[in-house]
Chains A and B, each alone.
Chain A
Amino acid sequence: MRKKALVAALSATALAATLAGCSGGGDNASADTAQNCTNKIVHQDAPKVSVWAWYPNMNKVVDNFNNAHTDVQVCWSVAGQGSPEYAKFQTAIEAGKGAPDVIMLEADHLTGYEIQNALVDLSKFGANDVKKNFSAGAWKDVSQGDAVYAIPVDGGPMAMIYRKDIFEKYNITPPTTWAEYEAAAQKVKDAGGPVFGDLGSNVPAWLTALMAQKGAVPFTYDLADQKNISINLDSQPAKDVLNYWAELSKKGLVGKQDQFTTDYISGVVGGKYATYVSAAWAPGYLTGAGVGKGSEKGQFAVAPLPQWDKSSPVSVNWGGSTFAVTTQAKDQKLAAEVAKGLYADDASLTDGWKTQTIFPLNQGVLNSKEFIGNHVDFFGGQTANKDIYIPAEKAYKGFSYSPFTVYYYAQLQAETVKINAGQITGEQAATELQNTMVTYAKSQGFTVK
Chain B
Amino acid sequence: MADHGSMTTTSAPPAVAAPAGAPPSPRRKAASGSEKMVARRARVGWVFIAPFAVVFVAFLLAPLAYALYLSLFTKGLATGTKFSGLDNYVRAFSDPSFLKGVWFVLRFSLVLIPVQMAVSLGAALVLDSLTTRLARFSRLMIFLPYAIPAVIGALMWGFLYSPTFGPLQQIASLVHAQAPFLLSQDNVFYGLLNAVTWQWAGYYMIIIYAALQGIDPTLYEAARIDGANVWQIALRIKVPMVSSAMVLILVFALIGTLQFFSEPQILAPIANGSITPDFTPNIYAYNLAFSYAQFNYASAISFALGIIVFIAVYVFMFATRKRGSSLS
State the A residues within 8 Å of B (CB).
Answer: 3-4, 6-7, 10-11, 14-15, 18-19, 83, 86-87, 90-91, 93-94, 112, 115-116, 200-202, 226-227, 256-258, 261-263, 266-267, 403-404, 406-407, 410, 413-414, 416-417, 420-421, 443-446
Further 12 A-B residue pairs, CB within 8 A, beyond A7-B43, A421-B186:
A11-B53, A94-B293, A94-B295, A201-B273, A258-B270, A258-B271, A262-B165, A413-B273, A416-B273, A443-B76, A445-B77, A446-B76
A93 touches B273 (CB 8 A): no
Q: A6-B47, A7-B43, A444-B77 are in contact. Are A262 and B290 (CB under 8 A)?
A: no
Picked from B43, B77, B292, B293, the residue with its CB within 8 Å of the CB of A3 is: B43
Residue among B40, B43, B54, B271 with most chain A CB within 10 A: B54
CB pair A404–B291 under 8 Å, yes or no, is: no
- B50–chain A nearest beta-carbon distance, Å: 5
Residues in B whose Cβ lies below 8 Å from that of A261:
269-270
CB-defined contacts of B78 to chain A, threshold 8 Å: 115, 226-227, 403, 444-446
Q: Which residue of B lies closest to A202 (CB)?
A: B273
Residues of B within 8 A of A266 (CB): 164-165
Q: Does any Cβ of A come within 8 Å of B272's Cβ?
A: yes
Complex contact A90–B46 (CB within 8 A): no
A-B contact pairs, 27 of them (CB 8 A): A3-B40, A3-B43, A3-B44, A6-B47, A10-B50, A10-B54, A11-B50, A14-B50, A18-B54, A91-B289, A112-B77, A112-B293, A116-B77, A202-B272, A256-B272, A258-B270, A258-B271, A258-B272, A262-B270, A263-B270, A266-B164, A266-B165, A410-B276, A410-B291, A413-B276, A417-B276, A421-B184
User: Are B79 and A202 neighbours in the complex by a CB distance under 8 Å?
Assistant: no
- Chain A contact residues: over half helix, strand or loop, or mixed? helix
Binary interface encoding of chain B residues 304-316 relative to chain A, with 1 for a CB under 8 A from any of its CBs, else 0: 0000000000000
Residues of chain B whose beta carbon lies under 8 Å from any beta carbon of chain A: 40, 43-44, 46-47, 50-51, 53-55, 58-59, 76-79, 162-165, 184-186, 269-274, 276-277, 287, 289-293, 295
Chain A residues, CB < 8 A from B277: 410
Tell me which residues across on chain B come within 8 A of A256, comparing CB atoms: 272
A202 in complex: contacting residue of B40, B50, B269, CB < 8 Å: B269
A4, A263, A444: the one within 8 Å of B162 (CB): A263
Could you tell me if B58 and A407 are in contact, using CB atoms closer than 8 angstroms?
Answer: no
Q: Are B77 and A404 in contact, CB atoms less than 8 angstroms apart?
A: yes
Residues in A whose Cβ lies below 8 Å from that of B271: 258
In the complex, A87 Cα to B292 Cα: how many Å? 9
Q: Are B272 and A257 in contact (CB under 8 A)?
A: yes
- A90, closest chain B residue (CB): B293
For the complex, give the distance between the alpha carbons of A86 and B44 in Å. 48
Within the assembled complex, what's the spacing in Å between the Cα atoms of A218 and B47?
63
- Cα–Cα, bound, A448→B227 (Å): 79
Q: Bound complex: CA of A202 vs CA of B273, how far in Å?
A: 7
Q: Write out the residue numbers on chain A whose beta carbons fall within 8 Å of the beta carbon of B55.
A: 14, 18
Nearest CB of chain B from residue A115's CB, rounded to whole Å: 5
Q: How far is the CA of A423 from the CA of B286 in the complex (A)?
A: 28
Indicate if the CB atoms of B164 and A15 lie closer than 8 Å.
no
Which of B76, B165, B274 interacts with A444 by CB under 8 Å? B76
Q: What is the minimal beta-carbon distance from B153 to any residue of chain A, in angstroms?
A: 18
- Which of chain A's residues have a CB closer than 8 A to the CB of B50? 7, 10-11, 14
The 5 closest A-B pairs by CB, nearest first: A445-B76, A445-B79, A201-B273, A445-B78, A417-B273
Q: Residue on A with the closest CB to B43? A: A3
Q: Looking at the assembled complex, report how far the CB atom of A224 sits from the nearest CB atom of chain B, in whole angstroms.
A: 13
Residues of B within 8 A of A91 (CB): 289-290
- What residue of chain B has the Cβ atom nearest to residue A417's Cβ? B273
A406 touches B292 (CB 8 A): yes
Q: A201-B272, A420-B272, A445-B77 are in contact. Are A3 and B291 (CB under 8 A)?
A: no
Given A14-B50, A445-B76, CB of A406 within 8 Å of CB of B269: no
State the CA gap A209–B52 with chains docked (Å): 54
Partner of A258, one of B40, B269, B292: B269
- Chain A residues with CB under 8 Å of B77's CB are 112, 115-116, 403-404, 444-446
CA of A112 to CA of B292, assembled, Å = 9
* Min C-beta distance of A206 to chain B, whole Å: 13
> What residue of chain B has the Cβ atom nearest to residue A257's Cβ?
B272
Provide the residues of chain A in CB contact with B293, threshold 8 Å. 90, 93-94, 112, 116
Among B47, B58, B163, B274, the residue within 8 A (CB) of A263 is B163
- Closest Cβ of chain A to B59, distance in Å, is 7
Min CB–CB distance B285 → chain A (angstroms) = 13
Closest A residue to B272 using CB positions: A258
Of B46, B184, B272, B292, which one neighbours A7 at CB under 8 angstroms?
B46
Complex CA gap A410/B97 in Å reads 12
Residue of A nearest to B59 (CB): A18
If the complex has contacts A3-B43, A10-B50, A263-B164, are A417 and B291 also in contact, measured as CB distance less than 8 A?
A: no
Chain A residues with CB under 8 A of B276: 410, 413-414, 417
Q: Are B291 and A18 in contact (CB under 8 A)?
A: no
**What is the bound-complex CA distance between A203 and B215, given in angstroms?**
58
**Could you tell me if B164 and A421 are in contact, using CB atoms closer than 8 angstroms?**
no
In the assembled complex, which residues on chain B have CB atoms less than 8 Å from the CB atom of A19?
A: 58
Tell me the nearest residue of chain B to A407, going by C-beta.
B292
**Assembly CA distance A200 to B293 (angstroms):** 26
Cβ contacts under 8 Å, B295 to chain A: 94
Residues of B within 8 A of A201 (CB): 272-273
Considering only CB atoms, which chain B residue lies closest to A16 in the complex?
A: B54
Q: Which residues of the partner chain A approach B274 to less than 8 Å between Cβ atoms?
A: 417
Minimum Cβ distance to chain A for residue B52 (Å): 10
Cβ–Cβ contact B290 & A87, under 8 A: yes
Q: Determine the chain B residues whose CB is within 8 A of the CB of A112 once the complex forms.
A: 77, 293
The interface residues of chain B lying within 8 Å CB-to-CB of A416 are 273
Q: Which residues of A contact B289 (CB under 8 A)?
A: 91
- Whole-angstrom distance from the CB of A381 to the nearest CB of chain B? 30
Contact for A87 among B58, B162, B291, CB less than 8 A: B291
Report the Cα distance A90→B287, complex, angstroms: 11
B79-A444 in contact (CB<8A):
yes
Given contacts A404-B292, A417-B272, A417-B273, contact A14 B54 (CB under 8 A): yes
Nearest CB on B from A118, distance (A): 10
Query: Measured between alpha carbons, how far is A445 from B80 in the docked complex, in Å?
Result: 9
Given contacts A258-B269, A258-B270, A262-B164, contact A406 B291 (CB under 8 A): yes
Contacts of B46 in A (CB 8 A): 7
Chain B residue contacts of A4, Cβ below 8 A: 43
Of all chain A residues, which has the CB nearest B294?
A444
Closest residue of chain A to B58, judged by CB? A18
CA–CA, A116 and B50, complex, Å: 41
- How far is A407 from B277 in the complex, measured between Cα atoms in Å? 9
Chain B residues, Cβ within 8 Å of A262:
162, 164-165, 270
A86 adjacent to B291 (CB under 8 Å): yes
* B residues near A420, Cβ cutoff 8 Å: 272-273
Distance between Cα atoms of A406 and B291 in the complex (Å): 7
